[in-house]
Structure 1
Amino acid sequence: MADWVILVDSPKDFPNADTPHKVITTRDYLARSSLFQGTRPKIVNLARSFAYQSRGYYCSLLAEARGHRIIPSTETMIDLGARQLYAQALPELDDSLAKSLAAAADKTVPTRILAYFGVVTDHRFDRFGRLLFDWFRCPVLEVTIDNGDRPQIRRLASVPVTRLSAAELRLFHEALHDHTRREWRSKKDRAPPRYSFAVLYDPKEALPPSSRATIKHWSR
């Protein structure tokens, strides 16, 4: 476990005493090019912001340039920055969410799911959590769910550890411990879809060839 490194904006965000891994600040990682020279550390970026051109973003960008292994990657940060960028993942994730509920005795739909390295506290959604982490390798992800005719994901967002409650932080520590005991596995490459499907729709048409329900079905 000695080759894991935690990046934080401030030492108080995730004290070194709380983890067996080396904790360094994002400022030091950016400024000290000699750090970890000749090695390939595995890095968990816990910066407070992953926004484009933030310090957290530049740490992941620099890690990739140095050949270090880091989560989240800049690609994941950018994808999570806007719904239209992570929209390609939603059909598969929505389907997994629906299947998890269909297979469970309890059909209650949560409005929010927190995933820590893909681990969720509601075991009905264990498979969903693993799929989510396979799409977006992020330490903490918040999933906001709309409960309509068919539950659908309204929003995906990374959550800084500084915003976690005491109970959530304990769960994060457990998930971090388990994650860093495993071998590093790169994100699976996903083939882009071979085809795109478009439907022209005029809400004012008197006799539309397709109903609103049909178009909603195709939009999945």
Structure 2
Amino acid sequence: MSVLIVVDDPDDWPLPDDTGLTVVSALSYLADPAYGEDRTARVFNLCGPSHYQSLGYYVSLLADARGQQPCPRPGTIEDLQSPHLVRILTPPLAKLVEQSLAPLAAERFELDVYFGKTPASGYDVVAGQLFAFLQAPLFRASFERGEAGWITRGIRLLGLRDLPEAHRRFALEAGTSHLAGRNRAANGNGQRAFELAILHDPHAEHAPSNAEALRKFAAAAGELGMRPEFITAADFDRLAGFDALFIRDTTFLHHYTYRFARRAQREGLVVIDDPDSILKCNNKVYLAELLAHHNLPIPRTLLIHRGNIDHIAPRLALPCVLKQPDSSFSIGVDKVENENELRTMVNGLLEKSELVVAQEWLPTPFDWRVGILDRRVMFVCQYYMAEDHWQIINHNGSGGRSEGRTVPLAVGEAPEEVLRIALAAADLIGDGFYGVDIKETNTRYCVIEINDNPNVDAGNEDGILKDALYREVMAVFLRRLKRAGLGGAAA
């Protein structure tokens, strides 16, 4: 992967000879088709001003059309034209902004950020997070103090010629350091191994892989010539130094796992789980509508709002199951037995979400779990209900948390219909790593949900394939890395 620095005039960026970077004028980049031949190129657009139909805008737009990776993207240039959109986009950073600016006595503050660095002392953290969030090389963020604290009032993209003279040397050094580092990581000597980040939380109560499974994933990656490294939430700023990201922590939309996935995708990494899969699988309302729309078998289902609570019992009967949209590991999924319990539970859930899923209760001794990656079945298990409980996990048993047993089966032992509808359901989400849960009654099969980030625990899901399961998963990463042309050939 090459790195192109596009500027108004190449004399604006006097590069040392040993960086291996290419500086090109905007007009040359736009007019010379040779610059579009490398579809894996990272194009850092330092032209100014960057607004709709400006020269800088067309640099990012054509880089995107050529299949390259522009920074900033055309969508970022568009978004930042509107202060209203800026305020909508930046809430994930609101807490950090407030903490960083709270000591200031002024009512307004501006922060110049150059490749994640700032010449303003004491604001390195917020500068780095803004850079990671926006993926824009040069910009000025404006803040103002409101009634509820500091807010981001606007963000203006800068070109090299917009920088104050006193900042020019600082910006060039920050940019050269950042881009030269990326170039070495991207090109190497053609022999380096792909770098795989495995994101996990060593303190998680409900993790999708136990410690032994994580060790086996890393070992399999090493056997295939990749270099695995375990990372945690604290390693967000290091993400761009990897070629691929494997998320082995429970994913949520408003959570660092989603931010990691989103940034990894922006940086051009191969990522599982990708942000679209996290977004889709984490919302039970979306899944219920998606599966129904495509005529896949599901339990009788109602999307509940405050106006149709009275329809639940007549249509689904009691007991029935209520699901908050972002439930996982049996948390946020409740069985209600009577009308009083129903109303109390529904009203509580509607305080958190405008829509809730209600489904008929289908008592079964186990759920089928079909693990699917790259549109292929990887494993099949039966997840049995916890003892004296209607769910796989009982969080409130007399002896504390308890879990039903997992029985792995060969793929050929599963009913063909289970495999068929599992593959069809996962295909609606994408080609990532999914766990499709299916209930089997005397008369039918029903898809219960599609999970991104499915469990793979040593001693459970790997019961049939053993270590080959971990190699199969890592082989998908390797194939995608080679297909994308990221890094050198795996050693």
TM range, smaller chain: 0.7 to 0.9
Per-residue CA shift, 1:189-208, capped at 9, x if unaligned? 5959x8xxxxxxxxxxxxxx
Give CA deviations for 1:165-207 in whole Å, capped at 9, x if unaligned: 2321111112112211035554385959x8xxxxxxxxxxxxx
What residue in structure 2 maps to residue 62 of structure 1? 62
Deviation at 1:38, TM superposition (A): 4.3
1:121 matched residue in structure 2: 119
What is the alpha-carbon distance in structure 2 between the residues aligned to residue 38 and residue 79 of structure 1?
27
CA deviations on 1:40-99 (whole Å, 9 max, x unpaired) are 222211111211111211111111121222211101111111112222223233321112
Q: Which structure dedicates a bigger proportion of its chain to strand? A: 2
Query: What pairs with 1:180-199 in structure 2 (closer than 5 Å)?
Result: 180=179, 181-182=181-182, 183=185, 184=240, 186-187=265-266, 189=275
Aligned twin of 1:175: 174
Q: Which residue of 1 aligns with 2:133?
A: 135
- CA shift for structure 1 position 108: 4.9
Q: Deviations over 1:104-152 (max 9, x none)?
A: xx54557211111222234533332222112211111111122355222
Preserved CA contact (<8 Å) 1:101 1:124: no
1:97 alignment partner in structure 2: 97
- Matched residue pairs, number? 191
CA distance in 2, matches of 1:115, 1:19: 25
Indicate how the Cα distance of structure 1 residues 169 and 186 shifts in structure 2: closer, same or farther if over 3 A, else same.
farther
Question: Is structure 2 residue 162 aligned with structure 1 residue 83?
Answer: no
- Per the normalisation by structure 2, the TM-score is 0.35
Instruction: Call closer, same or farther: CA 1:171–1:47 in 2, change over 3 Å.
Output: same
For the 8 Å contact 1:113–1:143, the answer to whether it is kept is yes
Hey, what's the Cα distance between the residues in 2 that align with 1:84 and 1:60?
Answer: 23
* AA in 2 matched with 1:57: Y
Instruction: Give distance in 2, aligned partners of 1:6 and 1:66.
Output: 16
Identical-residue share of aligned pairs (%): 28
Instruction: Report matched runs for 1:33-48 at 5 Å.
Output: 33-35=33-35, 37-38=37-38, 40-48=40-48
Q: In 2, distance between residues paired with 1:145 and 1:129? A: 13
Distance in structure 2 (CA, Å) of the matches to 1:147 and 1:76: 25
SS at match of 2:28: helix
AA aligned to 1:174 is E
Residues of 2 paired with 1:173 and 1:66: CA distance? Answer: 27
For the 8 Å contact 1:135–1:187, the answer to whether it is kept is no
- Distance (whole Å) between structure 1 residues aligned to residue 6 and residue 37 of structure 2: 17
Q: Is the 8 A contact 1:44 1:71 kept in 2?
A: yes
Alpha-carbon RMSD across the aligned residues, in angstroms, is: 3.1
CA contact (8 A) 2:87 2:154 kept: no
Q: Is the 8 A contact 2:80 2:154 kept in 1?
A: no
The runs of 5 or more residues in structure 2 that have no matched partner are 186-239, 241-263, 268-274, 284-491
Could you tell me which amino acid in structure 2 is paired with residue 132 of structure 1? L
Structure 1 unpaired stretches of 5+: 195-220
